[in-house]
Structure 1
Amino acid sequence: MKDFLEKYIMPTAVKFGNNRHLLAVRDALIGMIAITMIGSFAVLLNNLGSIIKPYGKMMESIFGPTWTTLGGDIWWGTFAFMTIFAVFGISHKLAKSYGDDGFEAMLISAACFFLLIPQVANVPETEGAWGFIGWGYFNSTALFTGIIVALAATEVFIRLTRVKAFIIRLPEGVPPAVAGAFAKLIPGMLTILSFGIFGLLFRMLSDGKPLNDWLNTVLVAPLTSAADSLFFAILIVLLVHVFWAVGLHGPNILGGITTPLFTSLGTKNTDLYAMGVTDLDKYAILAGPFLDAFVYLGGSGATLGLIIAMFLAARKRHKQLLALGTPPGVFQINEPLLFGLPIVLNPLWLIPFITAPVIMTIVAYTAIKIGWVYPVVTASIPWVTPAGIGGYLATGGHISGAVLALVNLAISIAIYLPFVYINARIDEKKLQNKIDVNVGSHIDA
């Protein structure tokens, strides 16, 4: 099995995980964590007033009936422009991977994205405006369009900059910033022109439907519907832990696919929550930090349950490992345990390592689906948020989110505990066999 995984699975997984386009998407969206965090907490604090009535009355008495204005403004400056930040970030990261400084590339990509957006509400020319653009073309609704345009525009731009005939070279006395800008002038213009022509032809062939609307109808809506399912959740969790089983960082390898999907669904939930929507059927379940809040408790494999099980059944045997692994484990960092126990390539530990997260995923998804946990995931949290606290914050400050996380933690402990006992018995037998061998050797001598 080990030879098969190393020969056939690991090379493909490593190649997939190192794909520059997926890395650019993943790193850009992760780099936006400050934006998503402050936006989530602004929505959370605004909506706590309706959940915790005394808090809402207190805030209104101090700041007046418009006390939610600040939170609304922060949401508007963060989540309402999610795709714009993503376009800049993805283009910059991708261009850097090619050795470019990324500055011109991200500006060109943004221009290409803007020119593909329809002017949905025209105003008289006397008012000095071409038209109004709905914020639905800037928020997570347009995220997949933004990702595609950022990747495509950057690829076109970078390749054009490598055509010597398109490079304008100025004399040596010209400042480097000016020379660099002129060197990429023609590639930038050609990239924008090509996307402008593409947008025009696309609207002609699609009866006036812009690219974003077409993608949402044909690709994004079916994809997100399929992604927000129990089957997809189990599949992702299985793949993550199969990769970890051979020593590969599963979340990083799949991050280029899962991060945009979960970010899009999570942002959609946050927007609905900010608008006060109470119909749970409109919310996504497998969204935002769902896995971090309810499944990856202690990190991949829900290894906080293993740590607690070791404290209960084998504290003395694993004293040093627990001392090293517990503090980071509380904050969802479990590499000391994965490689120190080890769990990686260890058949005994891999059984609960894979089984526990799958069962926890089923429990969490089902609990939210049938309405036991209300509201659903509506806030972004750092992946290092401790178990219980993450569930509470991710569900908009609802105690049921914390309870669900703690129930899952108890499930992981129950799954790991028998294997802790089994491992202890195996170690005892190995030690006894070693003693017997040493005694036999001494007698023979």
Structure 2
Amino acid sequence: MMTFIDKYIMPGAVKVGNNRHLLAIRDALIGMIAITMIGSFAVLFNNLGQVIKPYGRMMEAIFGPAWNTLGGDIWFGTFAFMTVFAVFGISYKLARSYGDDGFEAMLVSAACFFLLLPQIGNVTLTIDDKAVSGGAWGFVSVNYFNATALFTGIVVALIATEIFVRLSRVKYLVIKLPDGVPPAVARSFAKLIPGMATIFAAGLFGLLFRKATDGQVLNDWLSKVIVSPLQSAVDSLPFAILLVFLVHLLWMIGLHGPNILGGITTPLFESSGVKNIDLYAKGVKDLDQYGVLAGSFLDAFVYLGGSGATLGLIIAMIIAGRKRYKQMIALGGAPGVFQINEPILFGLPIVLNPMWFIPFVLGPVITTVISYIAVSSGMVFPIVAKIPWVTPPIVGGFLATGGHVSGAILAAINLVISTAIYLPFVYAQVKIDTKNKTELTKDSETLSV
């Protein structure tokens, strides 16, 4: 595996990793680590009461029924606007890579992103005890700002910045003011026409796009194009493999896979989960009547530590790179135990990082196949209880199967498998980092001489 990685993965990873656009995305996401960390802990503490009931009762007794309001406010100020932060950060970093100061570029990109959003939302009001529905201007769903729209935000930030920077280099579009004008004012006027032209181009594109797609905005169209092939979803191993593969492939390109595909998977899993619960309540012993892809199947057996089974990655870091990843282990370890892995996804980062593509995508696919076969064959009891997604691995497998040890054993086996898959890639990354550090030291010594 190490030879294969050195020969086929590392050269491509180094080449792609030096791409200025990917570097801008990576640096922006890493720069958001404070936002993702505090948001992750807020979600963790708010949902912990669902898993540990005494904790929930204690917090309610001390702080009252609304004890989780603070956590909700922190989530709203962080994760609810993740795409907005990403647009600012990516545009700034990309413009800086071209030698621009980045300030005007990030403002122009943000304007382009906002003008591509829908301005009218469907609202239902109660008037004289009657529900009245209709479109209202100025109501925008939070889904257009959070991680669900992250891919759209990345695309808009990259394209808008490219247009703005290139137009800023056209001397006929640059307005030069006298020398006595303050530098900040001179810079703003110098990029006045490029900024206006970029925003106008984005607005014109949005208008033509809506007309060409019967009123759809860019983000909705992307979601529809991705989700539509999955309309005929069924409880089968091929669909399970396809679903898990797409979820993690979308994550790799910056798209929130579970949210994007939720319109298909949530109704499917919920209906099959309720059916299993009803059969279990009736005392049905025939396991063939139970659905496999039901309820919390993925949370209990596949998403161990979150999408990509990143708790296995954290364990692999502890084994192979404890010194190199000391801070990342400290930051992502506790949230990872409760299935929250944004600090790892955006802090390492995994998103848009070709080095982690194979283990992040392949690992969950393998554990999905193992889990599906284990449940469908009767070796492991099916999902008969709904668990919060923040339930720790192994414990989740035990609770989701109605307290059957087989569920906990399957989750534990999958966690070991995920760790084994991540391990060689952690060794490879440590090797790359060591090599880069050595070369940097040599270059520094040469320059000093």
**What is the TM-score when the length of structure 2 is the normalising length?**
0.59
Asked whether the equivalents of residues 26 and 259 of structure 1 are also in contact (C-alpha less than 8 Å), the reply is no
Partner of 1:260: 254
Relative distance call for 1:378 and 1:98 in structure 2 (3 A) is farther
Partner of 2:43: 43
1:133 and 2:140 correspond: yes
Asked whether the equivalents of residues 298 and 331 of structure 1 are also in contact (C-alpha less than 8 Å), the reply is no
Residue 80 of structure 1 and its aligned partner are, at CA, apart by 1.3
Deviation track 1:287-338 (CA, whole Å, cap 9, x = no partner) reads: 9843463432444xx782xx6xxxxxxxxxxxxxxxxx655577778xxxxx
Residue 58 of structure 1 and its aligned partner are, at CA, apart by 1.0
Secondary structure at the aligned position of 1:121 is classed as: strand
Residue 27 of structure 1 and its aligned partner are, at CA, apart by 2.6
Structure 2 distance, partners of 1:412, 1:211, is 36
Structure 2 distance, partners of 1:8, 1:414, is 20
Deviation track 1:221-248 (CA, whole Å, cap 9, x = no partner) reads: 769x9xx9647978999xxxxxxxxxxx
Structure 1 distance, partners of 2:324, 2:369, is 27
1:290 and 2:307 correspond: yes
Partner of 1:79: 79
Structure 2 distance, partners of 1:74, 1:38, is 7
Deviation track 1:258-309 (CA, whole Å, cap 9, x = no partner) reads: 1614x5548999xx99xxx99746978669843463432444xx782xx6xx
Structure 1 distance, partners of 2:180, 2:257, is 48
Residue 56 of structure 1 and its aligned partner are, at CA, apart by 1.1
Partner of 1:196: 203
Partner of 1:163: 170
Q: Tell which deviates more after alignment, 114-123 or 185-194.
A: 114-123
Residue 85 of structure 1 and its aligned partner are, at CA, apart by 1.1
Partner of 1:30: 30
Secondary structure at the aligned position of 1:290 is classed as: coil
1:115 and 2:115 correspond: yes
Residue 218 of structure 1 and its aligned partner are, at CA, apart by 1.1
Q: Tell me which amino acid in the other structure corresponds to 1:115.
A: L
Structure 2 distance, partners of 1:186, 1:136, is 32
Structure 2 distance, partners of 1:145, 1:198, is 14
Secondary structure at the aligned position of 1:207 is classed as: coil
Structure 1 distance, partners of 2:186, 2:389, is 49
Partner of 2:281: none
Relative distance call for 1:163 and 1:90 in structure 2 (3 A) is same
Residue 408 of structure 1 and its aligned partner are, at CA, apart by 5.4
Structure 2 distance, partners of 1:12, 1:4, is 12
Relative distance call for 1:393 and 1:177 in structure 2 (3 A) is farther
Residue 156 of structure 1 and its aligned partner are, at CA, apart by 0.6
Q: Tell me which amino acid in the other structure corresponds to 1:201.
A: L
Structure 1 distance, partners of 2:102, 2:25, is 14
Aligned Cα root-mean-square deviation (Å)? 5.0
Relative distance call for 1:229 and 1:148 in structure 2 (3 A) is farther
Q: Tell me which amino acid in the other structure corresponds to 1:144.
A: F
Map 1:342-421 → 2, pairs under 5 A? 362-363=366-367, 366-367=370-371, 371=383, 375=387, 407=413
Percent same amino acid at aligned positions?
55
Structure 2 unaligned segments of length 5 or more: list them: 124-135, 234-238, 274-294, 330-357, 376-381, 423-449
Partner of 1:319: none
Asked whether the equivalents of residues 49 and 56 of structure 2 are also in contact (C-alpha less than 8 Å), the reply is yes
Residue 392 of structure 1 and its aligned partner are, at CA, apart by 8.5
Partner of 2:220: 213
Q: Tell me which amino acid in the other structure corresponds to 1:133.
A: V
Partner of 1:436: none
Map 1:292-331 → 2, pairs under 5 A? 293-299=310-316, 304=319, 327-328=323-324
Asked whether the equivalents of residues 28 and 89 of structure 2 are also in contact (C-alpha less than 8 Å), the reply is yes
Structure 1 distance, partners of 2:395, 2:197, is 47
Relative distance call for 1:33 and 1:4 in structure 2 (3 A) is closer
Deviation track 1:192-233 (CA, whole Å, cap 9, x = no partner) reads: 01111111111112111111111111146769x9xx964797
Structure 1 unaligned segments of length 5 or more: list them: 124-128, 238-253, 308-324, 334-353, 380-388, 417-445
Relative distance call for 1:288 and 1:61 in structure 2 (3 A) is closer
Q: Tell me which amino acid in the other structure corresponds to 1:101.
A: D
Relative distance call for 1:67 and 1:60 in structure 2 (3 A) is same
Q: Tell me which amino acid in the other structure corresponds to 1:55.
A: Y
Partner of 1:385: none
Structure 2 distance, partners of 1:406, 1:179, is 62
Asked whether the equivalents of residues 287 and 377 of structure 1 are also in contact (C-alpha less than 8 Å), the reply is no
Residue 372 of structure 1 and its aligned partner are, at CA, apart by 10
Q: Tell me which amino acid in the other structure corresponds to 1:108.
A: V
Residue 149 of structure 1 and its aligned partner are, at CA, apart by 0.8
Relative distance call for 1:60 and 1:114 in structure 2 (3 A) is same
Residue 181 of structure 1 and its aligned partner are, at CA, apart by 1.0
Structure 1 distance, partners of 2:141, 2:310, is 33
Asked whether the equivalents of residues 363 and 421 of structure 2 are also in contact (C-alpha less than 8 Å), the reply is no
Residue 64 of structure 1 and its aligned partner are, at CA, apart by 0.9
Secondary structure at the aligned position of 2:121 is classed as: coil
Secondary structure at the aligned position of 1:101 is classed as: coil
Relative distance call for 1:103 and 1:282 in structure 2 (3 A) is farther
Structure 1 distance, partners of 2:112, 2:174, is 21
Aligned length: 334
Greater C-alpha radius of gyration: 1
Q: Tell me which amino acid in the other structure corresponds to 1:260.
A: G
Relative distance call for 1:82 and 1:297 in structure 2 (3 A) is closer
Secondary structure at the aligned position of 2:172 is classed as: helix
Relative distance call for 1:331 and 1:373 in structure 2 (3 A) is farther
Secondary structure at the aligned position of 2:78 is classed as: helix
Partner of 2:283: none
Q: Tell me which amino acid in the other structure corresponds to 2:213.
A: S
Asked whether the equivalents of residues 174 and 191 of structure 2 are also in contact (C-alpha less than 8 Å), the reply is yes
